[in-house]
A and B are shown apart, each in its own frame.
Chain A
Amino acid sequence: MENDIRLVCRDLRAIAADPIALQRICKRIAKEIATGRLAGDRVRIAVLSTFLVDMLIDVLRAALLARGVVADIVKGAYGAIAVDLLSEKSITRDCDLVIVLPTHRDLAFVPQPGCSQAEDNAAVEQEVAVWTDLWARIKAPIVQLSFDPPPWRALSEGDGFRPGGHLRHVRCVNQKLGELAPAQVALVDAEALARTVGQAWHDARTYFLCKQPFAPSAVWEVADSIAAASAGLLGKARKVLVLDLDNTLWGGVIGDVGLTGIVLGSETHEGEAFVAVQRYAKSLAARGIILAVCSKNRDEIAREPFRAHSGMVLREGDIACFVANFEDKVANLRRIAQALNVGLDALVFVDDNPVERAWVKQELPEVLVVNLPDDPALYCQAIESARAFPTHRVTAEDLGRNASYRSRAIVAEVSSEATDMGAFLRGLEPVARVERVNSGSLERIVQLVAKTNQFKLNPRTFSAEEVLQRAQSTGNVIAVRLKDRLQDYGIVTVAITEFQGEEVTILNWVMSCRVFSRRLEHATLELIRANARAAGAARIRATFVPSSKNAVAREVLTELGFTPAGDADWVVPTVPEVPLESHFMHIESGEEL
């Protein structure tokens, strides 16, 4: 039953156009969640809105479940976003995530036609201040729908551009909110959503009937886009786009038709469509999505176009993990996940062959399989509409990620051959650089703690303010950047500690999966020990709370010599009883800015 429910909610898009069937299935899913039997990360979510969200919430729950989030949803009083947030008893207080859904009707300072530029700008400032003030009151991460374009344009074509235009006000406010949104606020672009939904976005009859502004047929798109943004904030965005080659990245089977026979390039309409798919993949790679190839081909033949075809947009260097052989794709997808050191639930699989898709769906339910249509002209749209890669801001680490994972895959290959692990690690010439907590590193530190799933001691996260405040006591926030001969991995491990009498407590400790097996944890513990010694603490205490994903953290604690000390507590003496294996790292300190 449980697996049925999960598979059903993956394919809800197929029945999105039939609101009656959609609601029935979503109601069943809601009942199943209410039994408490579904495994997965249970998340408490508050929905605050100024319109009727009952129909939306049923579908939202299913769309979240499709992304691995088992949601318990509470809703605020209808139309009372600010009132709820200002109340001492706000329903958002115990929530892991708050979803805020206003519409253009909630704009309080819409300027009048004929007002001056200055008056118009002032109205935007006033409007924005309302929301930034409310955000500051919520501790949990926030997903907020931006303001939607109003249905009528009093200033006609000038409404979106001229001072006093309603649409211009909406656009300026959204833009400003986007600029000012702190890291824990993800805005859903209502203008883009309204475009996707089309005519059904503004449905006056439904609104007057029950205060739901869009038609029942729009509920799926709205729910799914909010679910995707929520999944992104909860660290559930997928990370890897796995691409087939023949008839996916180019037309034809290269093993049969050869390099000159494949259809690719602006000479033919089909060739153009495949170029567009490659451009789209490249644009995703440019913002941090990892690309992998999984193809049934001989390796050297599969690589030929990447090296020698003028129509190719993707180069070998864009692919972090290239797997071309005649083995089962299920085995190959497992191999790709392993080489990149990500879970199967980080993969999105794109393949034109329906048999391969069905096989992967059946064998690897964690992998998101894109339902690719027959016409390559529609491939990009199909991948995009899966909303698999939500992000609301791009960090420097995102931009360098493909290079980073590429060398991670190289390291995986190299290390499977190297028999002397020590010699191998030393050969990489690693440098661990302790970074200062400042405006340059703060966002990455907060993001790393929030988004890490595997090496993470417990669910505790820290706001930017809290990290800054804790960093004021020397050594309490340890953020380490790893560099080696191959590249700079950025800040990849963060430990937040606190001195308490005889002990140093590690409140939480995370490490990016890209740098597992590099003994960076040895170097980090060494840093914590140095601080503990300086503070005169005899022991180091850590809180480990098991989740469905962090088994590796327990293994590492054990390896490092920590022993369980009741409840979730693990301890290790400041002076090690047995020295740890050498990490071969040169330790550096970050400079003052």
Chain B
Amino acid sequence: MSEPVTREQIQAKLTDIFRSIFDDDNLVLSDSTNADDIEEWDSLNQIKIILACEQVFKVKLNARKVNTLNNIGEMIEYLQDALRTAGSA
């Protein structure tokens, strides 16, 4: 039985994903970061983020649900839920 994944761990991995997709090593995510804060965050990059999260966290995400999230804080909570469900399955 693996340890539950913490918010901090998810945020660190998410930061790596964002830095890769936007090719910016100085990019910092906070709970309130949203699509308005990152210039290149368009619908294609949104899909890349979803696909990358699926690859990194090894979970399947609901794209419609992801599109309703307002900021990174909500994204982290959603990923935490998804991981918990995947872990208990």
Contacts and interface: CB of A to CB of B under 8 A. Distances in A.
Contacts of A81: none
B20 A209 contact: no
- Give chain A's interface secondary structure class: helix
Nearest to A21: B20
Interface residues of B, number: 14
B60 A205 contact: yes
A156 B78 CA distance: 41
B55 interface: yes
B44 A210 contact: yes
Interface string A19-36: 111011001100100000
A20 B44 contact: no
Interface residues of A, number: 17
Nearest to A211: B47
B55 A20 contact: yes
Given A54-B44, A209-B47, A210-B44, A27 B56 contact: no
A547 B47 CA distance: 42
B47 A27 contact: no
Contact of A19 (B23, B52, B63): B52
Contacts of A216: 51, 55
Contact of B48 (A18, A21, A23, A205): A23
Contacts of A28: 23
B10 interface: no
A271 B26 CA distance: 54
A469 interface: no
A485 to B, nearest CB: 61
A206 interface: yes
Contact of A20 (B50, B52, B63): B52
Q: Which 10 A-B pairs rank lowest in CB-CB distance, beginning with the nearest?
A: A24-B20, A210-B47, A20-B20, A20-B52, A27-B23, A216-B51, A209-B63, A54-B44, A24-B23, A209-B47
Interface of B: 17, 20-21, 23, 44, 47-48, 50-52, 55-56, 60, 63
Given A20-B52, A23-B21, 17 more contacts: A19-B52, A20-B17, A20-B20, A20-B56, A21-B20, A23-B48, A24-B23, A27-B23, A28-B23, A54-B44, A55-B48, A205-B60, A206-B51, A209-B47, A209-B50, A210-B44, A216-B51
